[in-house]
Every structure is written in structure tokens, then in C-alpha cells.
Structure 1
């Protein structure tokens, strides 16, 4: 088996957000806020916690993502597995304070070469999720 077959790709989105890391952290870790910008969840920011993300895009059609928290460093880093539709990936959030707020970096890694549809879907989807996250941050304290 060649090395090329095992190479994976990542979706990386970086965004400068005019809010402090603590506020963004709440939106990334509190289930009622996660639901507003991502999906319904039973997330807890505890390493080893298994949770899922659920959405009904259309009646009778469920999207369920199975996840497990890998790493939690409050206000700095959050990482969890993201398994759905044959995709086994890892989502890592990194928050870096800046002079005007926070540099938020989202990386979803683990897309195999035969998963280009999932890869392109994630590139589009995460931009939409982050736009929704911006809206949540704008209206919460």
C-alpha cells in the first residue's frame, strides 16, 4: 500500500473575531449555545465525554454525528472526534487572543482522498456554521 493512499486532508478556517476568548469558548462549549449555531447536542467539555450532534434538515431525515471529546484547555483549545457517513475525522478549535479580540482557528482533519464530496461539503458547511457563530456571539453577553 503506498503512502499516498493514507494521506488525508484538512479543512482549516481562521477567523478574526472581535470578542474575547472566554466568550467564544462559551459558544463552543455550552449546549444551548452550540445548538444555536451548529446542532443540538449533549456536549460537555470533559475529555473522554461521548456526545452527538443532531439535526433534522428535512422531516424524517436525521443528521447524527458521533463524537468524543479528546482535549480541553479552557479558553484555548478544544478537540473532538467527528464521525458521520463513513468519515472519521477530528475537529480542533484553537483560540488565540489578539489586540482586538480572538483569532479563532477551526481544523477538521482526516478526510481521505476518496472523500472529496465530504471535504468540499465541510469547507462550505463550516463557513456557514462560523457565520452563525458570529451571529450568536453578537447577541449574547
Structure 2
């Protein structure tokens, strides 16, 4: 996909909440698809691999351990994870390293109101994570539309508006933008 032909969608609704020494990004987006279709994209490994920065070694519709494989750079990394709650078409909650993700799906007049609560240790990462999820969900939306595009992850995200999204989310959240993560390679090609 040519980065010049890609335009990120408008900013999502976001907030940052302090939570017992951690920070939670609350990221809400309207998707044009019914909850069942969105649920499948969140839980089926082959669909996850088509839009997320990771995939899973099993379907996430049931609680218990699984291996989450980060695929956002040249070296995939396996991580132990656990589905804590799985309530079809309404709630999916799981661990991801030291983070915890909670996806809530609500039927809306236009499809699904999807809310992600992503718990983090470091506040400065909240806008960065929002920018990353923004691009991932742009890809997911196109997948759900039946017009898939390749995943946008890792260093390549810089060519698709990640830095501008990061700066915009930082401003919206009132968190200073720290730019590209230190130590993360940039795709300058």
C-alpha cells in the first residue's frame, strides 16, 4: 500500500485515567459493523494478524492462558498472556505483558461503539499507544469493510501518520508529546 494514498481517520474519543500508580488509555471509536463482526476480528487469530500488532495462538473466546506473538517488527516476540473475561459480542479482557486490555462492544445505530481500556505503567506512552491503536483500527475497519489493506505496525507506522496522530492525541490528552519511542527503529525507506 502506498503511504501517500492513506489518510488516517479522524481522532477517536480518548481520555487518560490514573489508576493505582498506572495509567489507562480509554479509546472509543464507532465502527460501521455489528458487534458480532467486530467480536470476530478481536478474537480470531487469523483476523488479529490482519490488523493488530500481534496475533494469538488460539481463539480468544474463552478464558485462560495463550501465547500472544508481537509482529510489529522483523523479530516476532512471544509473550505469555491470559484471557481474563470473554463475554461474546460485549466484553473481552486479557493481559499483554505488563499491560491489560479491556475491549467493550456496544451495539449502536451505526454499528458498534468499541471502547478499549489499555492499562499502562508509563503516562508518556498513552498518546503513543493511542496513535498505534488508531492506525490498527483504521486497518481493522477496512478489513471489516471487505477491502483489506496490509497491517500498519512498528516502524512502518511512521509513514502512515503515526507521528502526527501521536502529537494530536498528546495535545488532546494534555500529555507532552515525546515523539518517536527511543530505541524503536524508524522506517526511513
TM class, shorter-length: 0.7 to 0.9
Q: Higher relative contact order by CA 8 Å / sep ≥ 6: 1 or 2?
A: 1
In structure 1, the partner of 2:63 is: 47
SS in 2 for 1:57: coil
Which whole-Å deviations, capped at 9, do the CAs of 1:35-91 have from their partners, x for residues lacking one?
A: 000123213221113221231513xx33444311000000000000010xxxx1110
SS in 1 for 2:33: coil
Distance, in Å, in 1 between the alignment partners of 2:76 and 2:112 is: 33
Q: Normalising by the residue count of structure 1, what TM-score does the alignment of the two structures yield?
A: 0.80
Distance, in Å, in 2 between the alignment partners of 1:55 and 1:104 is: 23
Larger fraction in strand:
1
Distance, in Å, in 2 between the alignment partners of 1:123 and 1:100 is: 23
Say which of 93, 96, 99 aligns to 1:79: 93
Q: How many residues align?
A: 128
Alignment of 1:25-104 (within 5 A): 25-38=39-52, 39-44=54-59, 45-55=61-71, 57-58=73-74, 61-83=75-97, 88-104=98-114
Alignment of 1:106-117 (within 5 A): 106-109=116-119, 111-112=120-121, 115-117=122-124
Q: Does the 8 A contact of 1:72 with 1:79 survive in 2?
A: yes
In structure 1, the partner of 2:185 is: none
In structure 2, the partner of 1:139 is: 146
Structure 1 residue ranges without an equivalent (≥5): none
In structure 2, the partner of 1:129 is: 136
1:10 aligns with 2:17: no
Q: Normalising by the residue count of structure 2, what TM-score does the alignment of the two structures yield?
A: 0.61
